[in-house]
Amino acid sequence: MHRLLLLFLCLIPFVSHAADTRGLRVVAKDPATNQTAEVKLYNKSYAVVIGIDRYKNLSPDRQLKNAVKDAGGIEATIRKQYRFDRIFTLHDEQATRDNIMRLLTAELPKVIGKEDALFIFWAGHGNQEKTDDGDLGYLIPYDGNSDGIYGNITMSQLKDDISRAIPAKHIFYAFDACYSGLLTTRGVDAKASRNLAYLKTITKERVRQVLTAGSKGQEALDGGPRGHSVFTGRLIEVLEATGDYITANEIQSILKERVYQDARARGHEQTPGFGALYGGGDFVFVPNIEQKVQDNRVELARIEAELKQLELQEAEARKYQTEQQQREAEQRRKSAEARLKAEQLRQQQLQEEARQQQKMLTEKVRFDAEQSRREQELSTARKAEEQRIAALKAELAKKKQTVPSAATSSLAAAVAEIKRLNAEIEGIEAVFNRELEAGKKRIASRYTTEIATVKQASKLPQMPLVRDEFESVNEFKERQAKYEQRFDGQIEKLTLQQQQELEELHKKVQATQQEQTKELRQAMQQLANKQFVIGAESLIAELGVYDADRQYFPVIINSKIPEVKLAMNGTIPLPRDAARKFKQDWQAGAVRPQVVAKAGSGELQQVALVNDSNGTVLECWAGSCLTAIYTDPATGLQWLRNGNLAGKQMNWATAMQWVKTVRVGGFSDWRLPTKEELTSIAERGGTSPAEWLNTNGFINVQSDYYWSSSTVANDRVNAWDVYMGNGNVFNYNKTDVNFVWPVRGGQ
């Protein structure tokens, strides 16, 4: 028996952890893929444990009895069972508001890092105060009071001050106090997770979680396990019963049910509350396996000493031939042997746990090596694609340097240059499209081979799974189904990688193609927007016989060149005296046609008749050739005949600046009309200003809102405008958009 005990003691060091300078880690396995990994959780872990029985400002009947004991129980449990680098404690008069806030907002932020964890336990009074936005919960320190939030620690301070002041990645608050107003932003999953993917996810996410003993209006019961409160006693049980790591989410899911059932059995209602102040992570208690092994050694030594003592008592009983003593000694010996066997079995379980961890780490090393090999192959393939694109880019850059640029002094030359630039862009795009298709074929071929290899492996005989003794039938079937589907998971992963690589290739080729054609497109766009003046040599203008009754000349203006599409049959409205002088100027050759057009679209910017004898310009819009400016004989104001020269709407500030850029009729002092000026021209059209104006010498007047320069008195936000559909006056926010009609003169 003693040799067997020594054998187990020799195996114990295999389970213990070496001095860990890399932080707190656990090894987990994904049940779906059988993948194992060592997950680093934190650099360091800290705890603050606060318990208050005696309150300075509360009446004798409000003093507590077990809060300090509860805090001591939690401290002893986490110190023995879990890995905490330092534990801070505050009891009774130590737990003043100043001391607590100094520790949490001044001292801890200096020692806790962004990759650390913090567990805070509170045993004491809590309460809530009603506000317009709901109940606001608060904790009562030693020198606090129960009359309101003043002098206490509110949940708002906890969420907005304490939680943000401490840079820890995960903070878990456990409060053995009942109150509402947790200010949590989310609930929790009904079923807590323990798989590898969950651990990796919560490790990246920050979180601030809160667990309370009860909800609003509930009393936290005493008389729980080991003389603690029901909440703290059950919490200690959960922490002690865990052989592996455990998350805050797991704790709350177990604790809620147990506390609720305990309270219900005593005719009471107590339901712990849980939630996250913010963040998506999950606090993890990391087990102290070294301490568990050491405790096991001590327990084995104690039992062995007890066994030796019992053997001596048994020998003493035989010496005096006392049958009763022998039976009692025999029973005690068998009881000790049973306990020894149980401890030895526990040693075996610890040894098996360590062996499984070592096996999982070995599998991880093998898996990582294989994964690294595949990633290296894919990386090499990606670099090859990038080198092809870089070579193509250099070749095109060299080619562009040898292509001459054509002169663009005329509209015809500009159109020819646009066509040449467009052909060059299409040629570059064709080269990149060919390279893109070739790259797609190479990627498809590579992944087709990889997927075929996995499919072939899935057809080979596989080692059958063995059901674990403590595994239910349904759990075994579920694990078996996932094991059989593992090849499908690998194929799905390869298919996803192929799709991602194809998307990356497409993005790179498209980006490089855009980069290589950027300058060409810019040059083509500049040419397309360039305006060219087409003179009389490229145009045909014919003046018809004057209609004395209607007082207008018929006029025809056509284009001789293919770059300008123009065939206009219009009129020149003129009174008789002015018509006679105009006819004389036309016959003398003083009147010539002129067109302004864009090179890219051929869009006509201006069709006009220029009279060189007096410098007047008749602009032709909608079939009528008129002067660009109308002078109102009643007011002397000069208006543009084109009621939408800008061709768009704009806000008030932009309109005020835009009118200053207008250059028409040789004038540069155009402005926005006042409310009164804009109203005066609208009134000419009666109830339909836009319709009347567009048939009486104006064009493009919109049946919509037009800005005035007048602002609303004592109001910096709104300005006046006129609706040209009916002539009504309104005021609108200056950030709205309206049409603009420049005017000059007056004022």
Q: What is the pLDDT of residues 261-281, one digit of tens each?
A: 988 888 898 889 898 988 989
Residue 605: other Cβ atoms inside 10 A: 11
- Percentage of the chain beyond pLDDT 90 is 36
The two beta strands, 284-285 and 273-279, are unpaired
Q: ∠ CA 464-465-469 to the nearest 5 degrees? A: 140
Check residue 344 and give its pLDDT.
Answer: 74
Fold classification of 31-287 is: Rossmann fold (3.40.50)
* Average pLDDT of the residues in 734-747: 91
Residue type, 607: V
Q: Comparing 88-92, 140-144, 483-487, which segment has the lowest mean pLDDT?
A: 483-487
Question: Do residues 153 and 180 touch, judged by C-beta distance below 8 A?
Answer: no
Span 544-553, pLDDT tens digits: 999 999 889 9
* Average pLDDT of the residues in 121-128: 92
Q: CA-based diameter of the chain, in Å?
A: 158
Pairwise CA distance, residues 122 & 104, whole Å: 13
Question: Do residues 480 and 467 touch, judged by C-beta distance below 8 A?
Answer: no
**Mean of the per-residue pLDDT values for the chain?**
82
Q: Is the per-residue pLDDT at 690 higher than 50?
A: yes
Q: Is the per-residue pLDDT at 14 higher than 60?
A: no
Alpha helix stretches (DSSP H) within 205-288:
230-241, 248-265
Question: Could you tell me the pLDDT band of residue 187, with boundaries at 50, 70 and 90?
Answer: very low
Question: Could you tell me the pLDDT band of residue 195, with boundaries at 50, 70 and 90?
Answer: confident
Span 385-434, pLDDT tens digits: 667 666 666 665 555 554 444 445 688 888 888 889 899 888 888 888 88
Bridge partners for 489 per DSSP: none
Question: Could you tell me the pLDDT band of residue 356, with boundaries at 50, 70 and 90?
Answer: low
Q: Is the per-residue pLDDT at 353 higher than 60?
A: no
Span 17-70, pLDDT tens digits: 333 444 676 666 666 666 667 788 899 999 999 999 999 999 999 999 999 999
Span 287-318, pLDDT tens digits: 887 666 666 677 677 777 778 887 777 777 66
Question: Do residues 191 and 133 touch, judged by C-beta distance below 8 A?
Answer: no
Check residue 49 and give its pLDDT.
Answer: 97
**Token pair 């800005």 in the structure block, residue:** 707
- What the block records as the tokens of 9 is 């003691």
Pairwise CA distance, residues 242 & 1, whole Å: 30
3-state DSSP assignment of residue 712:
coil
Helix and strand numbers (H, E) in the chain are 18, 27
Helix (H) or strand (E) run with residue 398 in it: helix 323-402
Q: Is the per-residue pLDDT at 357 higher than 70?
A: no
CATH of domain 630-744: 3.10.100
- What the block records as the tokens of 146 is 């129960």
Q: What is the pTM of this model?
A: 0.43
- The count of C-alpha atoms lying within 13 angstroms of the C-alpha of 589, restricted to the half-sphere facing its C-beta, is 2
- Which contacts of 105-110 are long-range, i.e. CB under 8 A and separated by 24 or more positions? 105/161, 105/162, 105/165, 105/166, 108/46, 108/48, 108/166, 109/165, 109/166, 109/167
3-state DSSP assignment of residue 233:
helix
3-state DSSP assignment of residue 621:
strand
**Token pair 């001591």 in the structure block, residue:** 72
Span 584-628, pLDDT tens digits: 999 989 999 999 888 888 788 889 999 998 888 888 877 788 888
Question: What backbone phi and psi angles, to 5 degrees, belong to 645?
Answer: -60, -35
The full set of domain ranges for the chain reads 3-10+291-370, 31-287, 403-529, 533-572+592-623, 630-744
Closest CA to 138 of 78, 180, 84, 96: 180
Q: Is the per-residue pLDDT at 109 higher than 70?
A: yes
625 vs 345, higher pLDDT: 625
- Rounded to the nearest angstrom, the gap between the alpha carbon of residue 291 and the centroid of all alpha carbons in its chain is 42
